[in-house]
Amino acid sequence: MRPEQILQFLEDFRNLHSYDKSQRTKLFSIKVPENSLNAFRAKAKVNGTPYQTQIKRLMEEWMR
């Protein structure tokens, strides 16, 4: 890895493990099949979790 890549990795790692609610967020878009999104939203609702919150949780779990 180049030095800049190592620094970026370390910064990302630090950010991942020092998350707090005041951390900046970034809006992004992604294309997914409509049926999949509808099913995901429905399952999140049944579990009492906002679907975007559940997406964030899945992302965080995947990175661990």
The answer as to whether 8 is a domain residue is no
Count of structural domains within the chain: 1
The answer as to whether 18 is a domain residue is no
The answer as to whether 6 is a domain residue is no
pLDDT at 42: 96
Q: What is the C-alpha to C-alpha distance for residues 35 and 24, in angstroms, rounded to an integer? A: 30
Q: pLDDT, tens digit, for every residue of 5-48?
A: 888 888 878 777 766 666 778 899 999 999 999 999 999 999 99
pLDDT at 20: 64
The answer as to whether 2 is a domain residue is no
> Which residues, in sequence order, are CB contacts of 15 under 8 Å at separation 6+?
23
Q: How confident is the model at residue 58 (pLDDT cuts 50, 70, 90)?
A: very high
Global pTM reads: 0.62
